Structure 1
Amino acid sequence: MSLPPADTAPAPEKGGDDLATLAKGGRTNTMGFVIRLVARIPFLVIATRLYGAEALGRFASALVLIEIVALICSLGEKRGLAQRLSEGAGENRSAEVNLVYDGMLLALGYSAIAALLLLAFPEPMFPNGTNSPYDLWLVATIPAFAVTEILLAAQAYRFDIATTVRTRAIVEPWTISIAAGLFFYLPGTRDAGLALAFITSIYAGLLTALWPFLRTYGLPRDWRPAPRAMLGMSASAFPLVGADAIERGTRLLDIFILGLFAPPQAVGIYYAAQQIASLPQKLKTSFEPILSPVITKNLRIGNMEAIAAQVRQVGFWIIAVQLGIALVLAIPGEAVMGLWGPDYVAGTATLAFLLAAEVVASMAVVSESVLVYIARKRNLAISVGIIALQAGLTVALIMAARNAGFGDGYQAAGAAGALMLALAASSLVKALLLKHLLGAPVSNWRWPLVYAAGAAVVVGYAFTFLPEWIELVVGIPAVLATYALVIWRRGFDEGDKVLFRKNVVPAPDASSPS
């Protein structure tokens, strides 16, 4: 028995349709990014003002292992599912459904094992101690997180990005914000509020993703899990799992190392800055769900030039928007960090480094979206080298700041600087490898980015001499408007502007930007 399938958009068949599909998915996720930005602010205010930097630091340290383990248990299905469905199901909808359920069953099995191990040996989750005994139950989010990743990937294969936006940009952030406030004031749950709020938000996200999935795919028919085939699926997923875990690990390793070498307050300051800087990261990865089906289709027909064109196009869209966001948040950095309290102003340099890191990482992420299909082992080897480089740089810069007698803010800034350098190296190496494999240029760099950034910096710097409330209320829109005007007129050609048009009927030969 299955639920009636929901309407889904068919896969595009022409290069121009690919561009329109990418643009539509990008618009949806860009709107999701804006919603997520608004939704994240209440949680940051509650976490920093009510719970404080020390409690926030312990909570952040615990999340490092939870998120990495959950990502591993999802078996790289965020990108791998599109290829499995494209190659293994054909036109058989029943086979498609069964393939998705195979992945979910396998993820649940690995999640259960991982959760039990962490329950038995919880010490790695809490290098700075716990806020409450309830913190241990963060392990309950591992299976929910892993299954949600697969559900959203399955919907993305049918070009349903709205479900991802609802889940990740509305339900999860608003749930954690509301729950964190409620648990703080409920008797007996104040110390455990952050952990309980996170658990609540992850399961709310799971339910939000599950309903449209059941409408689209329904329940499995004649489904008999084959243990041998599922073990083979585990083995083939290893390069994808490694790439996903390392990509996410680069954003979490610094918190883990800070937890080992720095006090909880430094971790809390870093985490607050990271939550702001992670917003452009979400924008960057928002193209992945819609990019994967387009790439796998072109790989199937051997159209490497079209893939290179899509990488260039999407890469420029991402870096153009990300650079604007980074300037808007970094120029008034002291005022932005001051919103969370006077203790967090010390994280201004950390915020600037983290925002710069997300800008330089854009090329690595877009390149990797192709490399995971055509050079999995080489991509994984590069990622391992990059995370090793980051670990060495992070320890060196934190220890240098500590030995020099600098405070928590400088130690956090050292970790952020290490991340920026490592991600810059990753972008360079992966872009060169992809260019070699595709036989076509893939760079997302254009000189108008410099012109737009320069104009925005001049305008933003002028506002730093005014009171902070004017800098935030008037200065931020002024910086954004200046940057947007210059990049629109000097940087965006007609191929780029399709991102902002809802009604697009592309020409058949529009597979590459003009």
Structure 2
Amino acid sequence: MTVGGSLPSTPDAQSSDGNERLQRGALAVGGGFAIKFGARISFLLVAAILYGPTLYGAYSVALAVVEVSVTIGGAGMKTMLFQILENAERSTSPGERLLEMGLIVVGASALVTVLIVSCILLLPGLGLVGWTLLWMAPLITGQALLDLLLAATRWQGLVRYEVLCRSIIEPYVAVLVSVAAFLFGAPQFGLVIGYAAGTLAAIVFALSAVLRSFDMRGVTMRSSGFRQLFSTMRHNSWVTGTDCVTALAERVDLYIVGLMLGDAPAGIYGVARQVCTPLRQVRQSFDALLTPIVARELRLSGVDAARRTIAGVSRKILDLQLPTFLLIAGMGAAILHLLGGHYPAAYAPMLILCLAEILQASFGIADLLFAYRAPGYGLVITVAGTAIGVVASFLLARFGMVGIASGLLLGYLARALIRRRMIHAQFAVSTPLRPLIPTAIAFAAGGGVILAAVGNLDLTSMVPAVAATVVAGAIFFAARRLADRSFHLQPN
């Protein structure tokens, strides 16, 4: 909806204008994530050097619990909000629907917060992780509401608000306040204080953005509003379950590291996860506009058009993720060496986590088809893949962080195979793999350079690391162009 109350005009992604807008939006959000990655690196240095692996490990595990709780408290609104706002058959205005969704999110997330706090107080012996989580739990409601507010601005096509909020305000406020808290004598909970400050600053900005982009004058809850709330919650139950299991699957490896190996190894493992952040952000840069576009295409054009859009975006994601992985693989050992201590031990699990992130991020966007058309099947796929990953991680935990990360990779691989099979069975369509072959060939060529460098050079030193990375990148792009010509594919 615009300020005047009409629906926003989001063009079909299959049209040249729609595809151009999708890429512009992805570029804008991607640029924001690049800025955010600077904050991530700054935060990583602050956490690793000032606070150390034990405090950072406890914070990482507690944050992983909070993030899963935010997904539960979000009640599926981050995904389903677009369809709810698009529904022209409902008598309420988009502003009134947004208010209803906000009440659902606040109520559900507050309930989750109460349950977590109660468990911490009733279960003694949770140690530093428990106390850290106790201080962070009240922020669950704020983060869930923040997700909803930013999703509402994306529905309007106003990506800049999410870029400013998630990429600049929230992370940089958190870094600055964390440093200030350490310097002014609050080292044990300085990371939590920084997280709280970043969350509150982001909420204020996001709320002001929604008030500017939605006409909220005269918006109230009608007598039928509460019945509509419960109806919406029931309708979203499958999607909520899928989102929750997905969030758990993305973090269960960190829980297992903390449980099986302790807080300090969890801190080292958390550093490995942080270095993988750019790969996740490549996917997220497309999410901002892809989700509302797929929702609209399914409503107007059906599954086949949405499937073509998803397949095209999957290739774009891989085209960006694979050279990014080569950059991380080439420079990662040197970055970890700069942190000192035991952090270089994170290199091997970091590479495995990167491969897992690529697998899930590039192929996982097909989950949108299930979210909007067959949410029950989507939940089955997610649960099956997660169960396989959890069992594999526990079985491989005797090999330390490398084994646990490998379990996560196996879970994502199983999920990708099950998803592909279910898409063919449920929608009678399949995603061709041939367009991905040139990128795969180029990745194999660049990856071979990195493997040779690992075996013959000291990649913990900056000069050989930079040299190996540059050569691998050059070979990747040269091989990609050659393979494109061989397979007669037009570059995107």
Shorter-chain TM-score above 0.5: yes
CA distance in 2, matches of 1:6, 1:484: 47
Counterpart pick for 1:453 among 423, 433, 443: 443
* 2:382 matches 1:393: no
Alignment of 1:174-185 (within 5 A): 174-185=172-183
CA distance 1:126–1:34, change in 2 (3 Å): farther
Match of 1:209 in 2: 206
Identity over aligned pairs, percent: 22
Match of 1:115 in 2: 113
Deviation at 1:119, TM superposition (A): 2.3
Match of 2:406 in 1: 417
Equivalent AA in structure 2 for residue 479 of structure 1: A
- 2:132, 2:189 within 8 Å by CA — same for their partners in 1? yes
Equivalent AA in structure 2 for residue 448 of structure 1: P
Equivalent AA in structure 2 for residue 43 of structure 1: F
Deviation at 1:234, TM superposition (A): 1.0
CA distance in 2, matches of 1:213, 1:462: 51
CA distance 1:488–1:109, change in 2 (3 Å): farther
Q: Which consecutive residues of structure 1, in runs of 5 or more, have no partner in the other structure?
A: 402-410, 498-514
Deviates more, 1:478-487 or 1:73-82: 478-487
Match of 2:428 in 1: 439
Q: Give the match's secondary structure for 2:276.
A: helix
* 2:470 matches 1:470: no
Number of equivalences = 483
Match of 2:342 in 1: 343
Residue-by-residue CA offset, 1:82-128 (whole Å, 9 max, x unaligned): 111112467x8x61111111111111111222222222222699986
CA distance 1:268–1:450, change in 2 (3 Å): same
* 2:191 matches 1:191: no
Match of 1:502 in 2: none
CA distance 1:103–1:462, change in 2 (3 Å): same
RMSD value over aligned CA atoms? 2.8
CA distance 1:75–1:132, change in 2 (3 Å): closer
* 2:221 matches 1:232: no
- 2:276, 2:353 within 8 Å by CA — same for their partners in 1? yes
Deviates more, 1:345-354 or 1:134-143: 134-143
CA distance in 1, matches of 2:458, 2:191: 36
Deviation at 1:325, TM superposition (A): 1.2
Q: Give the match's secondary structure for 1:331.
A: helix
* 2:289 matches 1:294: no
Residue-by-residue CA offset, 1:296-317 (whole Å, 9 max, x unaligned): 2222234332112101100101
* 2:252 matches 1:253: yes
Report the TM-score when normalising by structure 2: 0.90
Match of 1:510 in 2: none
Deviation at 1:258, TM superposition (A): 1.8
Deviation at 1:25, TM superposition (A): 2.1
CA distance in 2, matches of 1:383, 1:266: 27
Deviation at 1:360, TM superposition (A): 1.4
CA distance in 1, matches of 2:482, 2:123: 49
Higher relative contact order (CA closer than 8 Å, sequence separation 6+):
1
CA distance in 2, matches of 1:163, 1:126: 42
Deviation at 1:455, TM superposition (A): 3.1
Q: Give the match's secondary structure for 1:441.
A: coil
CA distance in 1, matches of 2:94, 2:355: 40
Residue-by-residue CA offset, 1:399-431 (whole Å, 9 max, x unaligned): x33xxxxxxxxx111111111111111112112
CA distance in 2, matches of 1:178, 1:215: 28
- 1:364, 1:426 within 8 Å by CA — same for their partners in 2? no
CA distance 1:280–1:363, change in 2 (3 Å): closer
* 2:468 matches 1:479: no
* 2:149 matches 1:151: yes
* 2:81 matches 1:84: no
- 1:364, 1:423 within 8 Å by CA — same for their partners in 2? no
Match of 1:166 in 2: 164
CA distance in 2, matches of 1:412, 1:109: 37
Residue-by-residue CA offset, 1:355-398 (whole Å, 9 max, x unaligned): 01011113442110221111100110111111111111111111
Deviation at 1:73, TM superposition (A): 0.9
Deviates more, 1:61-70 or 1:480-489: 480-489
